[in-house]
Structure 1
């Protein structure tokens, strides 16, 4: 009975997480349309700081605390020590980043970003509280409260960001101040969410500060976090760290190539359009994989692993092909121009790579091979740090996109080699034929019907996408491209 409750709870969290991811991707389209590429640049330059912090308080730290409390005989003491450790780390991190805000802003391209940077890290002050309340609720198998808090936080945050963008039209045309206001909205969303969580909790606040000077207990909590948890959290924020590398390298590399500072900022804003496209692509891959992960943990049979592996590879490749074909039109419809579409096409090709990498990473995690996985991920980041400025200087935004693709490709190849599990699905001729039929339908539909109004263009894209998906599924079914087990996994 408890296992059933736990699985139901996990499904609730999965759904809330997906809603949050979709909201997080979709708001960027109206935001960019309101503030333009320069305004989008000002926001996206500081966004990775906020996103990393939020990932910790939304999922990473609550999951760790929940596991900690479920295997502990001294849960109340562990609660307080966890809270104290995260409080100390959060406060120290906030102070250091605030003091360094101006030098960091200069390294990011302009000192004007300093205020936005400080606003983006204010959620650090809420991390200990949000993580504690969510983690305790999860340990009690009350996933609904955590799920509601996640959706509530993201909904308020997105609303505040759009309202901040609207001030650009009505009150203030300084894109850097608008960016700061958007980030403060994120802090307000966290604050409202915290009030909701407190109202649903019976934690006694005064007990959280017991034995504050007990250094040994704090080290015990940190030690219990362990290598496996560290690598798992590292992977959760991995793509955000990749974004952070772009924040510090792309604009400066563009300027070094001879482009003016103002134009480089606009180009970086255009480059950042790739993020919502990437997120939307990964939402579908992640949803199926995340839904399958709890079952994979319970059933590690070869059949189950193969089905999930097949599903991950096929879905990742199909979504990537579709995105790459439609991207120029999506760029035009959603962002009012098709500028730098080649760079964005290269950028969204990561969907296939990241989707498949997710499978390998989680497989190694379940096998306890965290050290190998962590080393590969670190090398991938080093490669990105080296390639991003080099390729951007030589090839512009195409080079910036390639630096990410090459880094993720290295990680994928390394994972394949150490796991000795090759993605043979790419040689499935019947799947390839279905993919070609889908791609042909997309290209014919895209070029055959010409409409002028952006709303009608959006409707056209939706219809073409739906028809093409239908063509793919029908041809795959007729050609028997997938096994019966895989069709069952798809629910078809």
Structure 2
């Protein structure tokens, strides 16, 4: 792949991924307002089970298929690319069918004995077919990426997300009169509709591949192919390590779905109230904290090839410069978001979700935006340096801390839903600090006061402005309008102050421009 093709492909997938994440984050606000905290709790219980099976079955498939197809392209093996596609489709069809069937059969047991809320049964059944369709979709995405054709993947990602969100909201609205468990199930079925739509786009691209792939690859045979058995073995050998490496977060989500409602019930809450509190945390607070990290995740993705190239050239000065740029950018984005979410937690939760109670876990979880942004950014740097195991190790340590605090604190009535919020905050704090320590050990880079001081000063001035402004506006206007005006005013203060005190070639904006310019 040429450098130009690599940059073009990366930009296409980054834009598509960014649009998909924005859509995926935005729909939770109207959904929360529609089905409430209790409905969101039921909705959130089914998703970790689906994510876990999806990760096990197909997380590494796009990478494995694209790598093998690219190898066959270099060898001019047209039949080999078809064999890879055929074997992958057969494998994922079987695995996906087994996983879907398992969810159907075990839905009653999982909802009753594991999640401790029988209303989650309908959501588990509704989402089960998505495992099958997403698996097939991952095969076709890997196939086209192997030919350096990123448009089919990008288009299918956006269509999948758009159809999913539309189905989620329409389905929840139509089924809400029957009960929140049915509304939550209709919402989870959006994953199936989105997967079918995304797969449909890829099938159309495959049928019309003569318009996408070079003509030499759309007719005739050629090249020396591997046996079908060897092809299947290589797909598994490449995909399984990636799949198992991606199990950390799905497992955490499942343990949260299992332990948090259970411990809340043991603390004296009813099943319905436990689901409501769980929805306030996962459907409300976590959703808002994750918004600024959409940008830091894109930054981390951009950093990997940049740092990798500089590391290969042994250019330590530029590595330091880019690490400073990345960390400073992450702090500049996430710190004001964390401060704003902390100060305005309850009015923001009321404005967006019509649920001011979600402000309780949000106020505790808000600082996690900074630590999560730092973890993502430093993980990108460590991956670019070839130390891919370190972020995984550090995340696992953070997960252990989180789960321990979750279990202990949530069961104490004095903490309740504050327990898992504190556990999550502590977990990301630990993992980000360990990443920074490993980065120092590997490169001798240190987190300097210069990187943090200017965003911190701007955020402090913003905090004072937000506190005073909201205190005045809520006496003059209604709470919702006061909240919107305060958020806009606070953002304006922050960026004006940062622009005034952060000038020159080492400013956040100039450093970011250099990072993205090197990428392309």
Answer yes or no: is 1:414 the counterpart of 2:440.
no
Please say if residues 439 and 468 of structure 1, whose CA atoms lie closer than 8 Å, have aligned partners that are also in contact: no
Of 82, 103, 116, which residue of structure 2 is paired with 1:76?
Answer: 82
Q: CA deviation at 1:249?
A: 0.9
SS of the counterpart of 2:129?
helix
Q: CA deviation at 1:161?
A: 0.8
Residue number in structure 2 paired with 1:396:
416
Tell me which moved more, 455-464 or 253-262: 455-464
Q: Give me the whole-angstrom Cα distance separating, in 1, the residues matched to 2:405 and 2:193.
A: 37
Q: CA deviation at 1:15?
A: 1.3
Residue number in structure 2 paired with 1:153:
160
Structure 2 gaps, min length 5 = 210-217
Tell me which moved more, 114-123 or 360-369: 360-369
Distance 1:35 1:484, change over 3 A: closer
TM-score (norm 1): 0.87
Please say if residues 63 and 135 of structure 1, whose CA atoms lie closer than 8 Å, have aligned partners that are also in contact: yes
- Deviation string, structure 1 residues 216-274 (Cα, Å, up to 9, x no partner): 543332223374x357x52xx65444332221111111111122222222222222211
Please say if residues 308 and 385 of structure 2, whose CA atoms lie closer than 8 Å, have aligned partners that are also in contact: no
Of 267, 270, 293, which residue of structure 1 is paired with 2:280?
Answer: 270
Q: CA deviation at 1:21?
A: 1.0
Distance 1:194 1:175, change over 3 A: same
Q: CA deviation at 1:424?
A: 2.7
Q: CA deviation at 1:116?
A: 0.9
Q: Give me the whole-angstrom Cα distance separating, in 1, the residues matched to 2:155 and 2:15.
A: 10
Please say if residues 53 and 121 of structure 1, whose CA atoms lie closer than 8 Å, have aligned partners that are also in contact: no
Tell me which moved more, 36-45 or 460-469: 460-469
Distance 1:415 1:430, change over 3 A: closer
Q: Give me the whole-angstrom Cα distance separating, in 1, the residues matched to 2:451 and 2:324.
A: 15
Structure 1 gaps, min length 5 = none
* Mapping for residues 25-44 of structure 1, pairs under 5 Å: 25-44=25-44
Please say if residues 242 and 404 of structure 1, whose CA atoms lie closer than 8 Å, have aligned partners that are also in contact: no
Answer yes or no: is 1:144 the counterpart of 2:151.
yes
Q: Give me the whole-angstrom Cα distance separating, in 2, the residues matched to 1:483 and 1:387.
A: 36
Distance 1:271 1:103, change over 3 A: same
Please say if residues 53 and 127 of structure 1, whose CA atoms lie closer than 8 Å, have aligned partners that are also in contact: no
Q: CA deviation at 1:441?
A: 2.1
Q: CA deviation at 1:114?
A: 1.5
Q: Give me the whole-angstrom Cα distance separating, in 2, the residues matched to 1:454 and 1:58.
A: 46
Residue number in structure 2 paired with 1:218:
232
Tell me which moved more, 432-441 or 13-22: 432-441
Answer yes or no: is 1:187 the counterpart of 2:192.
yes
SS of the counterpart of 2:18?
helix
Answer yes or no: is 1:446 the counterpart of 2:470.
yes
Please say if residues 86 and 127 of structure 1, whose CA atoms lie closer than 8 Å, have aligned partners that are also in contact: no
Please say if residues 281 and 417 of structure 2, whose CA atoms lie closer than 8 Å, have aligned partners that are also in contact: yes
Q: Give me the whole-angstrom Cα distance separating, in 2, the residues matched to 1:54 and 1:11.
A: 26
* Mapping for residues 53-64 of structure 1, pairs under 5 Å: 61-64=61-64
Alignment length (residue pairs) = 480
TM-score (norm 2): 0.82
- Deviation string, structure 1 residues 406-426 (Cα, Å, up to 9, x no partner): 222222233233332443357
* Mapping for residues 3-402 of structure 1, pairs under 5 Å: 3-51=3-51, 61-72=61-72, 73=75, 74-106=80-112, 107-168=114-175, 172-202=177-207, 217-225=231-239, 227=241, 229-230=242-243, 234=246, 238-272=248-282, 273-300=284-311, 301=315, 302=319, 303-394=321-412, 395-402=415-422
Residue number in structure 1 paired with 2:213:
none
Tell me which moved more, 271-280 or 296-305: 296-305
- Deviation string, structure 1 residues 438-480 (Cα, Å, up to 9, x no partner): 2222222222212655663464245224423333433333699
SS of the counterpart of 2:356?
coil
Q: CA deviation at 1:191?
A: 1.0
Residue number in structure 2 paired with 1:470:
495
Distance 1:483 1:337, change over 3 A: closer
Please say if residues 156 and 201 of structure 2, whose CA atoms lie closer than 8 Å, have aligned partners that are also in contact: yes
Please say if residues 306 and 515 of structure 2, whose CA atoms lie closer than 8 Å, have aligned partners that are also in contact: no
Q: CA deviation at 1:214?
A: 5.8
Tell me which moved more, 75-84 or 136-145: 75-84
